[in-house]
Amino acid sequence: MPDTASERIRVLCVADRDEAGETAAILERETDRFDVTTAAGVEAGLARLDGATDCIVSGYDLSDGTGLDLLRAVRKRSPDLPFIFFTDMGSEAVASEAISAGVTDYLRRDDEMDRHPILVNRIWTAVGHDRNRREREARQAELRRSERRLEAVFEDPKMLVGVLSPDGRLRKANRTAMEFVDADHEDLVGRPFHETPWWSDDLREDVQRWIERAAAGEYVEYEADHKHGDDEIRSVSGTIRPVTDEAGEVVSLIASARDITERRTNERELQQRNDRLNDVASIVSHDLRSPLNVASGHLAIARSGDDDHLSEVAHALDRMEELVDDLLTLAHEGERVSEIETVDLAAMVRDCWRNVSTTETAPQVDTDLVIRADPDQLRHLLENLLGNALRHGGADVAVTIGDLDGGFYVADDGPGIPEADREAVFDSGYSTAAEGTGVGLSIVQRIVEAHGWEVAVTESETGGTRFEITGIECESCTPTPN
């Protein structure tokens, strides 16, 4: 019920002209907190009705109808507006019909007793109940809106969200989080969060510590990997944050995480690209050194009068120009093959040896493989393997190229690679030769991975080094005994 001194009640009094005026005057005399408007009939009453009206007081016999007609019309427009019949006419049948139509109250006039004070109280009560109801409905509506907003935040399709008790037991998880686990929500509720299937065994102790810190009031940030589906691993960046009551006590924990797999992938690709760009100078200089040595060697002989060597100089210089273009392309485009073709491996080996060696010796080529590869990158691979044998074994090193099941090998009779160092030979910068740059075998590994092949290093039959390239698609692939 309204109880503040400034509260005003807006009453619409509908009756015949004299009765309406009399009732209005009495109501305003009874209390100074009523603002009373009068109307003489149904149409006039409806015309005066607006959103500011708090209560209608109506007689029964109106100039253009009855109070029941007015009540029915009002209920179509305002189903809950307080409506009080105050009349000296009517019967039990009229009262029953009025109640059925939704009247709020029904009060009979009495010629022997002034019932206006009762009417005032009825108005106060009706409006008070109505306003209390509207306030309750408004609060409930706001609560529903708040719940919908919270639900929208909780069910964010891009966030994994879980509500935990202060001791770290799961109370609720959203649909996005449940997509990461093969379990029913009901089976996970009540379980310690660190024991749920979101976490791998190697992370459970970390999760338990994060929860303990959050329960002590700390805002905990973390990054982790979650298994998603059968084989997919998704990276997430998350927080576990405390929720406190008015006294500052932690009453719950909110665990949330955002999928950053794509960001991490982009970061890794960017880092790899930066590494390639940082290596490009050494890569180019490394692969250019072999044809440069060839050109220098033949030029020295040509100066002594043998013109035949000038063509070898020209060939070496042309090869240097090709290497600049190809290796810069490789650095900018990453470890992707550009065009797969059918390649005669033996012919490619002989051509590559010509680019890396100035001696009259030739490798022993025990292969007739025809393989599917990017010719330019395969050339880089072979030149690096052959050049590696020459750098470490000297000009007289014996090199053999032979078949393997699903690939080929390049072996030499040089000093070999200690078993403890074999895993490190493909690292960029690794080299045991004084003139080496340590990038040649790193290039080999990149080219192998770009094709989807595999490379391994072991000891040759003569105690030197043997590189095995496998997983190759072969047009003709009959292994030669080795």
Per-residue pLDDT 10s for the chain (482 aa) are 444 445 688 889 888 766 767 777 777 776 777 888 888 889 998 998 887 888 999 888 888 888 899 999 999 988 888 998 887 766 777 788 888 888 888 888 766 667 778 888 888 888 877 677 777 667 777 777 776 777 777 888 888 999 999 999 999 999 988 888 888 999 999 999 999 989 988 899 999 999 999 999 999 999 988 876 667 788 889 999 999 988 889 999 999 999 888 888 888 777 777 776 666 656 566 666 677 777 777 777 776 766 667 777 777 776 676 666 555 645 554 456 778 899 999 999 999 998 888 777 789 999 999 999 999 889 989 988 998 898 888 888 999 999 998 899 999 999 888 888 888 787 754 555 444 445 668 778 888 988 999 999 999 999 999 999 999 988 765 444 44
Q: Is residue 89 part of a domain?
A: yes
d(CA 77, CA 241): 50
Q: Is residue 4 part of a domain?
A: no
Is the pTM here over 0.75, yes or no?
A: no
| End-of-domain residue from the set 111, 127, 150 | 150
134 & 173 share domain = no
364 & 455 share domain = yes
Please say whether the beta carbons of 412 and 399 come within 8 A: yes
- For residue 174, what are the contacts with CB-CB under 8 A and spacing of at least 6? 154, 155, 156, 159, 160, 161, 162
d(CA 182, CA 169): 19
What is the predicted pLDDT for the residue at 263?
85
| End-of-domain residue from the set 229, 259, 289 | 259
d(CA 476, CA 166): 67
| End-of-domain residue from the set 119, 150, 181 | 150
Range of the domain at 70: 9-150
Q: Is residue 2 part of a domain?
A: no
What is the predicted pLDDT for the residue at 427?
72
The domain tally of the chain equals 3
Copy the structure tokens of residue 78.
């305002």
Please say whether the beta carbons of 174 and 256 come within 8 A: no
What is the predicted pLDDT for the residue at 283?
59
201 & 254 share domain = yes
What is the predicted pLDDT for the residue at 439?
62
Q: Is residue 481 part of a domain?
A: no
Give the DSSP letter of residue 147.
H
